[in-house]
């Protein structure tokens, strides 16, 4: 039930000029708009959402050019607001607007905002600012959105990610790509207390803006009826034959209750067929699935469509001539109908060390060693060995390759390897993934061996504890071009997850981080974050939200 309180007499409001009106400690800008013989009272927050300057000192112009009756302009930076809705017409963020009533020549307002309308407007402003690359505006809208919704069980803290995820899934040319990895990484690292909320939101916003800026949403095909079990083979065939429209139409045609199972039933099987996008396909699919979990049907549909689009446009690296050993190994695994009986469920230290040496030697020796091991061990037993070898490879990345004139090699060559290793570690406990695990391990082994060309001789790192406190600073610093679109944050998150997967990876993760994150620049996002800190200090959102 709305509760209206008296604000001021109507006669105290001059025509078409804002006036400051106080209600206790709160400040409002009230305007009596007179136009064409009619008048209306509008009340908005006195504080401009940009930098807090008083809107009661602004200029009101009556016009119909922009489709509204009156525009209030902030004199400090020329931001313009539609008094009828509060929407920002020039600038970035909308201003809070309050419902008014006139009784006995007195203006009454409902001091409580219309929660649903304000939330939708804030989400719209967040999306718009992200697509326009206005990082500071988007960050402030994220913080406002959290303050509007509150903490769980409403999941207010995670809500900005739910606004960003569909943009990353549907406003990118070829589906959910690096922006999805960054959002999932920022969300997880915030939830486990590694990143503060402003930092997590800013890193996710920056990643999505880098990838989706000024792009419209991709067109959606007309869905046709599909079922998860019956249409698995047709979906995979559509992707293999590059019938992208049909594949995406099947995704949209799935019943909402079945779409939740699309990752395990459709996407992971396809991502396991070949080495797609040098190992990035599987991490992107799993990142989209994590973001979709518990997010509602609309978000789930958007992310499923984005993940499927990624696979529809993925490049089959293992089909290229230079990846012949990996391609041959994938064919060999596909020919094996079932694993032999009595396979070992663990790997001895001597066998593990021998296998790691082969994995680090070359692509051919790496996949041959894996195929041999799969004759005597379960695929799950080999995962820690391959993950450890992948980290060793990342920890021996040779930065001299990046410095060479004309070189297109950068640390993300090894970063992809880390992301694929973390994705496989994430999937290993899932029973439904067991049949695809050998394929995934072939991809990991092939990449590990192949990257010997950009590595130095591996030296065991000095034992050291993985330090989570450095993650935020390293991600914000963005020291090299390869970290654009949130790649750096995604790799740091993957390293953190690999330490959680096996504590023996701690020293390797630190060594890999130090090799891949060579600080050589000024943190470009530091200013944006500093402004957000000032925003928080000024009281928006309420203390305790972040």
Residue 538 domain flag: no
Residue 217 is assigned to a structural domain of this protein: no
Report the distance separating Cα 446 and Cα 438, nearest Å: 12
- Whether residues 352 and 491 share a domain: the answer is yes
In a domain, residue 136? The reply is: yes
Per-residue confidence in pLDDT tens, the chain, 546 aa: 578 999 999 999 999 999 999 988 889 999 999 887 788 999 999 999 888 889 999 999 887 555 567 899 998 889 999 998 888 888 878 888 898 999 999 999 988 876 777 888 889 999 999 999 999 889 988 988 888 775 544 566 789 999 999 999 999 989 999 999 999 999 999 999 999 999 999 999 999 999 998 788 899 999 999 999 999 999 999 999 999 999 999 999 999 999 989 999 999 999 999 999 999 999 999 999 999 998 889 999 999 999 999 999 999 999 999 999 999 999 999 998 777 888 999 999 999 999 999 999 999 999 999 999 999 999 999 999 999 999 999 999 987 877 776 666 778 889 999 999 999 999 999 888 899 999 999 999 999 999 998 888 878 888 899 999 889 888 887 656 677 889 999 999 999 999 999 999 999 999 999 988 865 444 567 777 887 777 666 655 433 333
Judge if 195 and 143 occupy the same domain: yes
* One domain for residues 422 and 369: yes
The answer to whether position 367 is within a domain reads yes
Give 382: exposed, middle or buried? Use CB within 10 Å, 0-12, 13-18, 19+. buried
Domain boundary among 95, 113, 131: 113
Residues 280 and 406 in one domain: no
225 lies in some domain: no
* 340 and 458 within one domain: yes
- Count CB neighbours of 163 within 10 A: 23
| Token reading at 191 | 């939830």
* Residue 532: inside a domain: no
Do 502 and 377 lie in one domain? The reply is yes
Identify the CATH number of the domain in which residue 201 sits: 1.20.272
Mark whether 512 and 370 lie in a shared domain. yes
Same domain, 205 and 346: no
Is residue 221 included in any domain, yes or no? Answer: no
Radius of gyration of the chain (CA): 27
Other Cβ atoms closer than 10 A to 377: 21
Residues 449, 210: Cα–Cα separation, whole Å: 31
Instruction: Give residue 540's pLDDT.
Output: 55
Q: What integer pLDDT is reported at residue 545 of this predicted model?
A: 35
Instruction: Mark whether 73 and 177 lie in a shared domain.
Output: no
Identify the CA nearest to 205 among candidates 270, 127, 147: 127
Identify the domain boundary among 94, 113, 132.
Answer: 113
Alpha-carbon torsion, ordered 369, 375, 376, 380, to 10 deg? 80
Query: Residue 457 class from Cβ within 10 Å (0-12 exposed, 13-18 middle, 19+ buried)?
Result: exposed
- Pair 96, 146 in one domain: no
What pLDDT is attached to residue 544?
A: 34
CA distance 38 to 15: 11
Q: Please tell me the predicted confidence (pLDDT) of residue 532.
A: 76
289 and 344 share a domain? no
Distance CA 242, CA 517 (A): 37
What 3-state class would DSSP assign to 322? helix
Whether residue 522 is contained in a domain is answered as no
Number of domains in the chain: 4
Domain coverage including residue 159 = 116-212
pLDDT at 546: 35
Give the DSSP letter string of 157-192.
TTHHHHHHHHHHHHSSTTSS-HHHHHHHHHHHHHHT
**372 and 287 within one domain:** no
d(CA 5, CA 26): 13
State if pTM tops 0.85: yes
């Amino acid at each position: 039930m709305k509760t209206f309180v008296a604000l001021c007499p109507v006669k105290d409001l001059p025509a078409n000029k804002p006036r400051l009106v106080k209600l206790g400690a709160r400040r409002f800008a009230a305007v009596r708009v007179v136009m064409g013989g009619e008048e209306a009272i509008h009340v908005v927050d006195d504080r401009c959402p940009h930098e807090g300057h008083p809107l009661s000192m602004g200029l009101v112009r009556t016009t119909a050019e922009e489709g509204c009756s009156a525009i209030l302009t902030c004199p400090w930076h020329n931001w313009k607001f539609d008094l009828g809705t509060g929407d920002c017409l020039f600038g970035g963020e909308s201003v809070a607007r309050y419902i008014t009533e006139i009784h006995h020549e007195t203006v009454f307002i409902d001091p409580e905002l219309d929660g649903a309308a304000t939330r939708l407007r804030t989400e719209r402003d967040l999306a718009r600012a992200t697509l326009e690359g206005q990082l500071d505006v988007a960050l402030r809208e994220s913080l406002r959105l959290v303050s509007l919704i509150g903490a769980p069980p409403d999941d207010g803290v995670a809500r900005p990610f739910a606004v960003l995820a569909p943009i990353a899934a549907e406003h990118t040319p070829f589906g959910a790509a690096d922006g999805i990895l960054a959002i999932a990484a920022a969300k997880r690292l915030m939830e486990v207390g590694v990143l503060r909320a402003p930092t997590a939101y800013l890193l996710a916003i920056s990643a999505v803006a880098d990838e989706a800026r000024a792009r419209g949403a991709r067109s959606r095909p007309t869905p046709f009826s599909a079922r998860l079990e019956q249409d698995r083979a047709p979906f995979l065939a559509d992707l293999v034959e590059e019938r992208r429209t049909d594949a995406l139409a099947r995704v949209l045609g799935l019943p909402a209750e079945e779409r939740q199972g699309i990752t395990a039933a459709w996407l992971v099987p396809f991502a396991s067929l070949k080495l797609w996008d040098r190992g990035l396909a599987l991490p992107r699919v799993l990142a989209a699935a994590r973001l979709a979990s518990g997010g509602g049907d609309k978000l789930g549909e958007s992310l499923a469509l984005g993940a499927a689009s990624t696979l529809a446009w993925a490049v089959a690296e293992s089909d290229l001539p230079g990846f012949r050993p990996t391609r041959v190994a994938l064919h060999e695994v596909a020919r094996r109908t079932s694993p032999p009986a009595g396979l070992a469920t663990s790997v001895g230290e001597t066998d593990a060390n021998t296998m790691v040496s082969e994995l680090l030697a070359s692509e051919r020796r790496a996949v041959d060693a894996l195929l041999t091991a799969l004759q005597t061990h379960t695929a799950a037993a080999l995962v820690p060995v391959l993950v450890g070898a992948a980290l060793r490879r990342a920890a021996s990345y040779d930065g001299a390759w990046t410095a060479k004139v004309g070189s297109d090699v950068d640390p993300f060559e090894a970063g992809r390897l880390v992301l694929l290793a973390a994705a496989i570690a994430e999937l290993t406990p899932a029973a439904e993934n067991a049949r695809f695990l050998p394929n995934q391990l072939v991809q990991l082994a092939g990449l590990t061996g192949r990257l010997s060309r950009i590595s130095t001789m591996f030296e065991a790192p000095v034992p050291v504890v993985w330090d989570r406190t450095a993650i935020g600073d390293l991600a914000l610093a963005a020291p090299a071009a390869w970290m654009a679109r949130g790649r750096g944050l995604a790799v740091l998150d993957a390293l953190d997850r690999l330490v959680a997967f096996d504590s023996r990876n701690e020293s390797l993760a630190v060594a890999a981080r130090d090799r891949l994150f060579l600080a050589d620049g000024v943190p470009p996002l530091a200013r944006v974050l500093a402004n957000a800190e000032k925003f928080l200090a000024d009281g928006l959102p309420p203390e305790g939200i972040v």
